[in-house]
Chain A
Amino acid sequence: MTDLWGKIEPLLARVERPSRYVDHEWNAVANSAADYRVALMYPDTYEVGMANQALQILAERVRALDGCAVERVYVPWPDMASAMRAADVPLFTLESCMPLAECDLIGITLAYELTYTNICEALDLARIPLHAERRRDTDPLVIGGGPCAHNPEPVAPFFDAILIGDGEEALPEIVAAHRAARIGGLNRAELLRSLAGIEGVYVPALYAPDESGALVARGGAPARVRRRILRDLDSMRSPVCPVVPYADVVHDRVTIEVLRGCSRGCRFCQAGMVYRPVRERRADSVVRDALASLACTGYEEVSLTSLSTADHSQLEDILRRLSRRLEGTAVAVSVPSLRVDSFTLAIARLLGEGRKSGLTFAPEAGSQRLRDAINKNITEEELLTTVRSAFEAGWRRVKLYFMIGLPTETDEDVAAIGALVARVHAAARESTPPPERGGIRIGVSVSTFVPKAHTPFQWEGQIPPSEVKRRQHILREAMPHRGVDLSWHDADVSFLEAVLARGDRSVAAAIEAAWGEGAVFDAWTEHFSLARWRVAFERTGLDPEQRASEPFAFDTPLPWAHIDSGISESFLRAESDLARKGVTTPDCTFDACTGCGVCGACDADVVVQAEGGRRG
């Protein structure tokens, strides 16, 4: 393999943040003896990509395979990309500093729609044909996966295969199939057919549209690709020795996944549908892996991550044991956004013992009517009680997430967000001693609803950007100013997210054209330009307004109809009806089965660790 360091180092004096490109971090392992190399790419900068837990998990799985090495790859910032093009240096991996094109398999995580142009940029810098159909037998296998894979069509032409669902078991199977294909002398087409036989693997080349527009399988590929599910999450250790970056990356801490899946059933939430069923890890495993990982990394914080950490049936036990073991070390234990109905005073106290990190709650909507329509299943009183607990336990800031543009939303619902924030602020004041009240901050972050595949709202359209701006104005007017930091997502960004999230295969041409117009790092405010995308849409004949805002009819095939998340369509339709009626659906980990269908379809089960189950 080629070592490119001698060509890269001379470029570093002239680029921003050179530590992104130098490797040699703690726990980074270059394995020169391997005969099979898997490059794992997050299609954004090093600082964003290093935070990705899925890639850390997959790296561990690949490293455990005989003769396999893992290489990390991120997308160079435009200054570095220009320097590389000028110096004729191809995209390189970090561990071995080798050309990406010399790897055997490239796994690209599809975590966010606005990274799609970066995939074009990375493959171009790597000198790998962007279109899977143009790749030769000697080119690496390019595999996608991650949350956005649940609607793979907008990027389908760029991938040889896309994994739907959990990768812990599937990625080693893909590697094994690729190695076997080499030994057996299979050509690329034969290799792709063999990959299509792996549970959860979608090979776009084997699906073509019929006259109705629905994608039809050929070459023995399954008619619908069923999502892959890791049945026993607790059988896998959390990555204990991840690479510790030097650069200031986002989420720079130990992350321990305490559970996967969430069945609270929020009707807008894709993750809440496509990661079912809920699978908790045992408290013993969580504590063991957290302490081992802190020792191996030297991090100053450990985060207990999941879609809904406070729902873990043993969370108090986990926090008690961690806080005892970490006493006096200034190491903080943190949790991502919390459900207000499972956040207890005990949890508040336990989290507050070490260094206090932020507390985040997501009421999502301002009025009870709308919270019921989206099945958020929390009441205002629960939110206020929780805020009081947090401020009594010593917190002085909380962050609240809301969404506008949800189906059935009225102007009154938008204004209700401001009123709710005002009551939260008042509750915070009441629970704070007068001399400390000046320090109270309520962070309010408001995003715009983007309809997502495999959710009860998957048929909905997005409200147009002009309407988003009008509602943002209502929100601003209704929001109290004192002690409140309000931020909202750019309407144009949310619009582009909707075009891409609801896209079919024709959108791929627009992505490629936008990249051709210079679109990269669309997720970065300083690089985002809807104008470039508009040129691309025009050139490729795509109507973005229609794509983003026109509802899908129940009787036409959805762009993701060939992807089977395990959730039955009749459940999603019933949920969509209940939303219109404002009727809520409980969580099956606290109440009875709600009939979403995933356990039967995927031969999986809810796993709750505490003997008495979860307490609602």
Chain B
Amino acid sequence: MAEGFRLRVRFQKVGRLRYLSHLELIRACERAVRRSGLPYAVSQGFTPRMRASFGPALPVGTAGEREYLDLLLTRFIPVDEALAALSRASAPDLSSRQCGYVSSKEPSLAAALTIATYDVRMERRAPQEEVEQAVRLLLDTGTMRVEHKGKPKVFDLSQTLPKEPEIVSDADATTIRMAVRMGDAGSLRPDAFVGAALGLNIRTLVTRTGLFSEDAEGWHEPL
């Protein structure tokens, strides 16, 4: 992105709107931008489009609490004003939570973000030790095979899971908190991991809780 003001927006995709697909989400956000009245930039060419780019896709059914998009503006708008305009124009379950300008030289969200954290909430409370053991057992095998669209994919778990999954329970349900490293060859779906550890017929609700870039100093939120 060049020539213009690159506004980074943190938003959420929660509640019923967790059932949107990535394409539906993109369209919904672009329409919110148009409703907001912000001076968005438009690409050149036969079919000009709004210049907006998004972080890694969320699957249908997965919620996101801290998602990001970059929007190119033709004029500088103070961040509070931009946030207020976007909030007014967004459905509550898809609302913008924070805005900030970033340098046009920074890499795209899709390229920069390599770590995602998830909460995988099971339907009910499960005995802590059993869940821990099952997760341990799977981690100890070192790799996990997943079929994706008929093609087998093998994940090296020590590389894919940069942190030990954490198991927490509240009164109603047990949640597995995990971090996944996203790669060019695809990312491990957290529900697939939990399914492999605990049984494939288990019903879970997945929420992506954060997205980070990583360097020698650690993990960084994009805003």
Binding site for B on A (CB under 8 A): 5, 9-10, 12-13, 17-19, 21-26, 244, 246-248, 294-300, 328-331, 354-356
Contacts and interface: CB of A to CB of B under 8 A. Distances in A.
Nearest to B21: A19
B16 A23 contact: yes
10 contacts: A19-B19, A26-B32, A26-B91, A246-B17, A294-B34, A295-B37, A297-B35, A298-B30, A298-B34, A300-B30
B33 interface: yes
B132 to A, nearest CB: 26
B61 A13 contact: yes
Interface stretch (B47-55, B174-182, B192-200): B47-55
B89 A298 contact: yes
B42 A298 contact: no
A364 B202 CA distance: 57
Interface in B14-29: 15-17, 19-21, 23-25, 27-28
A575 B1 CA distance: 62
Nearest to A8: B16
A328 B42 contact: yes
A244 B32 CA distance: 10
A298 B33 contact: yes
B145 interface: no
Contacts of B60: 18-19
Contacts of B23: 248
A18 B19 contact: yes
A360 B19 CA distance: 35
Nearest to B92: A24
B24 A19 contact: yes
Given A13-B203, A246-B24, A295-B35, A24 B15 contact: yes
B16 A22 contact: yes
Contact of A244 (B15, B17, B31, B33): B31
A302 B23 CA distance: 21
Nearest to B39: A328
B61 A24 contact: no
Q: Which 5 A-B pairs have the closest CB atoms?
A: A298-B31, A298-B34, A298-B35, A18-B19, A330-B48
Contacts of B15: 24
Nearest to B91: A26
A54 to B, nearest CB: 23
Contacts of B33: 298
B89 A246 contact: no
B193 to A, nearest CB: 17
Contact of B91 (A18, A25, A328): A25
B175 to A, nearest CB: 17
Interface in B162-218: 203
A322 to B, nearest CB: 15
Contacts of A328: 42
B91 A300 contact: no
A4 to B, nearest CB: 13
B62 to A, nearest CB: 11
Contacts of B24: 19, 246-248
A18 B63 CA distance: 14
B93 interface: yes
A356 B46 CA distance: 7
B93 A24 contact: yes
A354 B93 CA distance: 32
Contacts of B91: 24-26
Between B19, B23, B60, the greatest number of chain A beta carbons within 10 A of the residue's beta carbon is seen for: B19
A296 B37 CA distance: 10
B47 A355 contact: yes
A19 B35 contact: no
Nearest to B28: A246
Contacts of B32: 26, 298
Nearest to B60: A18
Contacts of B16: 5, 9, 22-24
A296 B35 contact: yes
B195 to A, nearest CB: 12
Nearest to B203: A13
B31 A26 contact: yes
A331 B50 CA distance: 10
Nearest to A298: B31
Contacts of A244: 28, 31
A329 B42 contact: yes
A355 B21 contact: no
Nearest to B48: A330
Nearest to B33: A298
